[in-house]
Amino acid sequence: MIHLLLGPARAGSSRFLLSIWFILAFGAQCASAQNALPAPFTQFSFPAPESLAQAAPLDTIAPKSSSSLLSASSYPNAGVSWKTLPIHTLRDQKYVWLFPLDVARGHHLVPTISIVGVTAALIALDSHTEPYFARTTDFDRYTETFNGTFTGSFMAAVPVSLYVFGLARHDSYAQQTAILAGEAYADSAIPHVAIKVISRRYRPSAIPPNGNFSDTFFQSSTSVFGKGSSFPSGHAAGVFSIATVIARRYGDHRWVPWVAYGVAGVFAFSRVPSRSHFPSDVFLGAALGYTITRYDVFRGQ
């Protein structure tokens, strides 16, 4: 199956990618197992996550601060299920689309200005960097391995594998992590599709190597789902949203965030030499995936 996804990629690359998948999907479970209490503490009784959910339902938790829309409620580990997924996603979207009001009130100014500034700088540089990627063959093996079909399948395989593994081990924390990954992916997908529909930016592959890379916005024909528009990168948004969930949920183990964000960076950058996206598209997509997950799915933590 892996050869079908990778096409011309060689067996060595296949083994490498399978190793990455194993690390992300099951490495978090190894980290979770290390959290087992030492023998001297087994005599004490701790409340189960289910009892915590009953004691403090998600919708009844008081806001930590009324001054910021993004910190309207804490997001506990319990209370996450397939039944609550739709309402949680809709609630997250409310905070996503009200974010400009939050900025207008003086909140999150530094990170917002930083992301906007870096994105603008990269857009200005796109016309200088893209001709290089249009001509070079240095990344051919890389782009063959990390093609769009494989990266999309990989993003789906990690939370699915984590959920199945959690079912097999009767690990509700792992199952909730997989559900949160799905919520984070949906939370980042909705805004990035909306931006694609508005920006209608040409993909780099639609422009000849000697073409004009400085006039790319509001030019392409785009479907209602954003297909055909380059800005921002949906793959980058998706992979960073999932990576952020895993990094946050298993962040007590230092290697987990490094691996999660490292793999996300490799996957996101693969969209540049394949000429599917400009560097600015990838940066904004990654920023959306991280910030929406960090401040909506995990707001208050």
- Block means of pLDDT (10 residues each) for the chain, length 301 residues? 39 44 48 43 38 39 35 49 89 91 90 96 94 90 87 90 93 93 94 94 90 90 87 95 95 91 95 94 97 85 53
> What's the pLDDT at 210?
83
> What's the pLDDT at 72?
32
Please say whether the beta carbons of 200 and 222 come within 8 A: yes
Residues contacting residue 68 through CB under 8 Å, at least 6 positions apart: 102, 105, 107, 108
Please say whether the beta carbons of 147 and 6 come within 8 A: yes
Q: What is the torsion angle, in degrees rounded to the nearest 10, for the CA atoms of residue 22, residue 254, residue 32 and residue 71?
A: -110
Q: What is the DSSP string of 140-168?
A: HHHHHHT-HHHHHHHHHHHHHHHHHHHHH
Angle between helices 148-169 and 11-33 (to 10 degrees): 30
- Return the domain boundaries, the chain: 81-297
Looking at this protein, which amino acid is placed at residue 288?
Answer: L
> What's the pLDDT at 300?
53
